[in-house]
Chain A
């Protein structure tokens, strides 16, 4: 999906919980906060964390210089299951 949008000329970035998967599928730009699959953009109802993750993601959208880069983000949420 990300590749199709990118091929249409629109730059993209993915927020990934599973960075190795993203690497294998050939994502052009990615960020990886420390989150479980299902809360990629941060803890539920934690507006501060979600906002910081989205902001950092957008900053990396313009900052990453070459395809295949995955930038770890310093936010951590462990789901209580």
Chain B
């Protein structure tokens, strides 16, 4: 049965459609996993180009060796005051390092990803930015990713 009963009819109410599920199984125990961070909170190094606050589908590679006090946020879509006080609020890099040190996880990945969610070209995010970040994590042998967004 076709879902369209009246051709060309468009609802005045925006109805989001949840996409079909995706699922990559966990294959290792936490103590054997290399964990990376990916955040939509607009995190990047101070020396890197800031995001365009009006909408930006680009992303920044954050290497694990960048000190957390040299990271910053450019994001026009949420109150930045907490994250300006402590980057770990949205990008818990120091906490991940501590968990790796105590052996809760095997290691921190050598690379992480920062991008600016909440707007921008969604097709580009889906077709280019997302796959590019995923590819980097695959190449670097990442076993699991924690995201902060939404």
Q: Which of A3, A19, A51, A57 contacts B130 (CB 8 A)?
A: A3
Q: Which of A24-67 contact B (CB under 8 A)?
A: 24-28, 36-45, 47, 50-51, 53-55, 57-59, 61-62, 66-67
Tell me the bound Cα distance from A4 to B105 in angstroms: 23
Closest to A52 in B: B95
Tell me the bound Cα distance from A4 to B30 in angstroms: 22
Closest to B35 in A: A58
Total inter-chain residue pairs, C-beta < 8 Å: 189
Tell me the bound Cα distance from A81 to B79 in angstroms: 9
- Interface footprint category on A: 35 or more
A14 close to B147 (CB less than 8 A): yes
A28 close to B150 (CB less than 8 A): no
A38 close to B133 (CB less than 8 A): no
B119 contacts A by Cβ under 8 Å: no
What residues of A have a CB within 8 angstroms of the CB of B130 in the complex? Answer: 1, 3-5
Tell me the bound Cα distance from A53 to B99 in angstroms: 12
Chain B proximity of A1: nearest CB distance (Å): 5
Listed in ascending order, the chain B residues whose CB lies under 8 Å from chain A are 16, 18-26, 29-30, 35, 38, 40-41, 78-83, 85-86, 88-92, 94-96, 98-99, 104-105, 115, 117, 125-126, 129-131, 133-135, 137-138, 142-150
